[in-house]
Amino acid sequence: MPAHVWILTIIGLLAIVAFDLIVIARRNHTVTIKDATRWVLFYVGLAGLFAVLLFVFKPGDASGSEFVAGYITEYSLSVDNLFVFVIIMARFAVPSLAQDKVLYIGIVVSMLLRAVFILAGAAAIAAASWVFYIFGAFLVYTAVRLALEGENDETDFQENVVIRGMRRILPLQHDYDGAKLVTRNAAGKRMLTPLVIVISAIGMANVIFALDSIPAIFGLTQDAYVVLTANAFALMGLRQLYFLIGGLLERVIYLNVGLSVILAFIGVKLIIEALHGSHIDDIGAIHLPHIGIATSLGFIAGTLLVTTIASLVKTGYDRRRVEAEVD
């Protein structure tokens, strides 16, 4: 992408982030389902508009299709983050009015850190094609691990050494003070509230999840511009999605299975592309196919659809069975 396109895109993303901050600052009530629905549609609409612009202004390449596939992949993988967000909020007993602010700051911090990872990953791929083998093998390993882990539970979040170190070093008070990050104790001394720890935990959790999602999107496109923007749009809509479907996550019981299938597919795709890059088109009698972006997009969307339908059917069946036993 030309330099001026990068500059305009970054300015646009920063403007959206600033606008979001203004909305949060003016909000004096807990986020409602109506609020969350409106903002989720707004951010999905923005991503859709950006995809249309790519299709219009770059009709000769696959940037638009790659962005759509990357955005859907990143957004679906980010949904799994919401389980951990719910656990963190419950573990630290975050006040309802402060949750929106906490998620906003934590996600913005993780966006900045992810940008560093994305640029590093793009540089590594540009320097050596064998990086595809590493990314592919890592995604297949992650897919197997995710499938074997089963449903998300409270063991998915444990305070790491950084969080424990912050507790020892920072001047933290035990109680919250609304949505404030800094307050004064009874002696008039400035103290940090537990929100600082919560923000750090959410930011680090998001970065840890990026270790899976960033190699996955590089399996769909090696365009750093597409990777960066797909990540940004997915993360910007994640906060409102938390308030919209936080209570519904328990019904999507096969989410881990669906995500593991997607990660395995992209991992195999990366390995095949690496083999093609090494001029290996056949392994014995097996011809290694070229998996295009349209095929990838269809597979990802189909897997998510099957996963969601199967989850809702299973949870509906279980609920009816329990109700019948009670009666």
- Rounded to the nearest 5 degrees, what angle is found at the Cα of 193, between the Cα atoms of 40 and 102? 10
Average of per-residue pLDDT across 101-123: 82
Separation in Å, CA 227 to CA 7, 72, 121, 269, 296 = 16, 12, 10, 17, 15
Integer angstrom CA distances of residue 163 from 99, 116, 133, 204, 293: 19, 22, 33, 9, 40
3-class state of residue 190 by DSSP: strand
pLDDT (tens digit per residue) in 175-208: 888 778 888 877 778 888 888 888 888 877 777 7
Residue 151 in this model has a pLDDT that exceeds 60 = no
Q: Where are the alpha helices (DSSP H) in 159-292?
A: 161-169, 195-218, 224-236, 238-245, 255-277
Decide which of 280 and 264 is more confident.
Answer: 264
Mean confidence (pLDDT) of the chain: 80
Question: What 8-state DSSP symbol labels residue 250?
Answer: G
Q: How confident is the model at residue 52 (pLDDT cuts 50, 70, 90)?
A: very high
Closest by Cα among 292, 297, 265, 291 to 68: 297
> CA nearest 203: which of 75, 112, 107?
107
What is the arithmetic mean of pLDDT over 243-261? 74
Residue 267 structure tokens: 């991992």
Find the mean pLDDT for residues 99-117: 82
At 51, the pLDDT band (50, 70, 90 cuts) reads very high
Question: Interior CA angle at 77 toward 213 and 79, to 5°?
Answer: 145
Rounded distance between C-alpha atoms, residue 8 and residue 149, angstroms = 42
For the purposes of burial, counting CB atoms within 10 Å of the CB of 296, is it exposed (0-12), middle (13-18) or buried (19 or more)?
buried
Tokens linked to 144: 């197997």
Give the per-residue pLDDT at 159. 58
- Give the DSSP letter of residue 154: G
Q: Per 3-state DSSP, what percentage of the chain is helix, strand, and coil (rounded to 5)? A: 75, 5, 20
Is residue 281 over pLDDT 70?
Answer: yes
Q: How far is CA 172 from CA 84, 104, 198, in A?
A: 23, 21, 12
Place of tokens 């995500």: 259
Question: Integer distance in angstroms from the first to the last C-alpha of the chain?
Answer: 64
Res. 247: pLDDT tops 60: no
| pLDDT value of residue 161 | 65
